Amino acid sequence: MPAAKLNIGMPLYGRAFTSTTGLGKPYSGIGAGSWEPGVYDFKALPLPGHREYYDSEAGATYSFSNATGMLVSYDTVDMALRKADWVKRLGLGGVMWWEIAGDKQGKEGIVENVSLILFFFSLLFLLRYLPTPVALASALRMETQWYERCVANQVFSSFS
């Protein structure tokens, strides 16, 4: 299957683990969650009293509270941007999210940040590979129409 036909899913939530001493350690519970036991919306993270970490070996982000013994594994904006870079490098088709209501608003949101990066990447791709000015103008018009539809439908909360 061509890489351009593959999309990756990115969560807008975190999974919680309780009664643990850290990443890779045993746990015995999953926490209350935002809408389901053990699942917290990204907009609620990091939880109060938690500190965020990046594990370079696992290539993952999480938060942990020594006081409560709770660990929550989730993507931060930086982690999502790393995944977007991976999508660009491999020439994948794009990304999708579940569930968009769990995202933060504005510049703290994953969807807005990743969408901007991938939007501008697609423009650079068009500039590099389209053979004629007419083809380039047509492609830019389609990209602009896509962007305007996203703004009209409030896909992005702000660009300022």
pLDDT value at position 131?
60
Residue range(s) defining the domain that contains residue 27: 1-160
The CA-based angle 9-76-109, given to 5 degrees, is: 80
Domain count, the chain: 1
Q: For the chain, list residues with pLDDT below 50.
A: 157-160
Instruction: Tell me which H or E stretch contains 9.
Output: strand 7-11
Both tokens of residue 54?
């990046």
Q: What is the pLDDT of residue 68?
A: 96
pLDDT at 154: 60
CB atoms within 10 A of CB 1: 5
pLDDT tens digits for 90-112? 988 889 998 889 999 988 999 98
Q: What are the start-end ranges of the E strands in 13-140?
A: 13-17, 39-41, 51-55, 60-65, 70-73, 94-98
Question: The CATH number of the domain where 15 resides is what?
Answer: 3.10.50.10
What pLDDT is recorded for position 9? Answer: 92
Measure the CA–CA gap between 66 and 83, rounded to whole angstroms.
28
Per-residue pLDDT tens digits for 123-139: 666 556 656 666 666 76
111 close to 103: Cβ distance less than 8 angstroms = yes
The per-residue pLDDT for 115 is: 86
